[in-house]
Amino acid sequence: MRLKVITSNPGKVIEYKEALSSFSIDTEHVKIRYDEIQSSDLKEVVRKGMDHLKASGISDFIIDDSGMFVDSLNGFPGVYSAYVQETVKNDGILKLMDTVNDRKASFQCCIGCNINGKDIIVLGKCDGIILREEKGTEGFGYDPIFSHDGERSLAEIPLNEKNKISHRGSAVKLLVKEIEKMIG
């Protein structure tokens, strides 16, 4: 079986390829634009994207949507994380939180998979805090300001460790469990 990983991020394709290889499921990177509705719910964004792709005749695929949700900012930037990262960047988030003591946040990743005509949607999460300054040189996006353990940023830990605890890693594990149930 072959699943299309529909994304503009080749790094995601590598993660999915590794996670699904034990099922004899191969992946291919496909860049297709699809409608991404504006919603505060990652599952709704993914569901609508899946519906759009299926209505276009595409099957056997994976899509995902992710965001960083900061408790004291009422979940902001949430589903708007990519746009906020492009515009105000980590410095902007740190300035917004300069005087904030409650620094709890989470990264969330929702994966939608269409396989053998059936849909799977899972949500993975990584809880943590927003640091007071950027730390580390690895990773991308909000990794330098997010810590899962209160000590190291995600940009300070090795990729193999990050993949075990990250929101996407968690979601991929849930996806694999659902695929196991489906194909035995």
| Catalytic residue numbers, as ranges | 65
Pairing of strands 2-6, 26-30: parallel
What are the percentages of helix, strand and coil residues in the chain, rounded to 5? 40, 25, 30
Paired strand residues for 67? 108
Give the CA-trace dihedral at 4, 6, 7, 12, to 10 degrees. -40
The per-residue b/e assignment along 61-78, b for 16 or more CB within 10 angstroms, e otherwise, is bbbbbbbbbbbebebbbb
